[in-house]
Amino acid sequence: MPEFTLSSTAFRAGGSIPRQYTCDGEDASPDLAWQGAPATTGALVLVVDDPDARGFVHWTVLNMTGSEGGTLPTGISASPDAPQQGTNDFGKVGWGGPCPPSGTHHYRFTLYALDAPLPLLDAPKSAEVRRALESATVVDTATLEATYRRGG
């Protein structure tokens, strides 16, 4: 069985997130690509959080089609034709880029392969997404981590 992986052309695993994807730049979501999702994947859910800020959620993308591999392009909007996105902890629907108050923070992009879509509509708050994930059947996860320091 191939390894389930998540990557980006915008930054390498463990590297620094470029300014254009943060509150100091264009605040555009970075591109992401995955491969090796299990054949039993019924839906994919992405959660991007900051473990250095008590799990502050920057982005949720819900109920993407369960496919072995796929991509999300740079700069996904909150338009009706975009994938379903939740309300981040900034109170906005969609991506809210890194904006740490001080020091270097770590950002964790976790892609959950689920057996079925989450029963959430519209733009659920991050706490609702996390609660739904707790009761979902997670088939596998892929994680990509990076850092950002303001002024750096």
Q: How far is CA 117 from CA 7, 34, 44, 54, in A?
A: 22, 18, 8, 26
Average confidence (pLDDT) over 112-138: 97
What would the pLDDT profile of 93-121 be if each residue is shown by its tens digit? 999 999 999 999 999 999 999 999 999 99
Res 152 pLDDT > 60 = no
Average pLDDT for 66-93? 91
Percent of the chain scoring above 70 in pLDDT? 99
pLDDT digit string (tens) for 2-48?
A: 799 999 999 999 999 999 999 999 999 999 999 999 999 999 999 99
Mean pLDDT calculated for residue range 119-136 = 97
Q: Which structural domains are found in the chain, ordered by start?
A: 5-149 (3.90.280.10)
Q: What is the pLDDT of residue 55?
A: 96
The answer to whether the beta carbons of residues 5 and 32 sit under 8 Å apart is: no
